[in-house]
Amino acid sequence: MRIQTDNKDFDELKEEINSSPFFRHMGMELTHLSEGYALISFPFQDRLRNSFGTLHGGVIGSLADSAGGVAIRTLVGSQKITTVEFKAGSSTLKGGLLGRGAGLQWRRWR
């Protein structure tokens, strides 16, 4: 899938994210990136099912965390960030997922 961007300054970040070991392992792909916004596609994979046969909640959490984290990184540059809190919900999923992250709130904790 072709990555769309609204800013050429994000080219290195896109490459870094999509080539990261975690993204490759999970099968996630950053497909759109602009200031304060990230869109990540994630195809459903049988190997990530839980004991009920649906997508494991940890996968959904990883997608949400990744989308939010990438969106924030477009706002803070090279500064290192860590997720402190997020909320995710889901229902029975059978297809792929899209994770949409928006940089809504960012604080420096000391």
Highest mean pLDDT among 20-34, 50-64, 91-105: 20-34
How much is the pLDDT for 28? 92
pTM of the complete model = 0.75
The pLDDT tens digits of the residues spanning 12-35 come to 888 999 999 999 999 999 998 888
Percent of the chain with pLDDT over 70: 72
Which amino acid is present at 40?
I
Residues 10, 73: contact at Cβ < 8 Å? no
Phi-psi region of 53 (alpha: psi -120 to 50; beta: other; left: phi over 0): left
Q: Count helices and strands (H / E) in the chain.
A: 3, 4
What are the chain's domains? Answer: 4-102 (3.10.129.10)
How much is the pLDDT for 1? 45
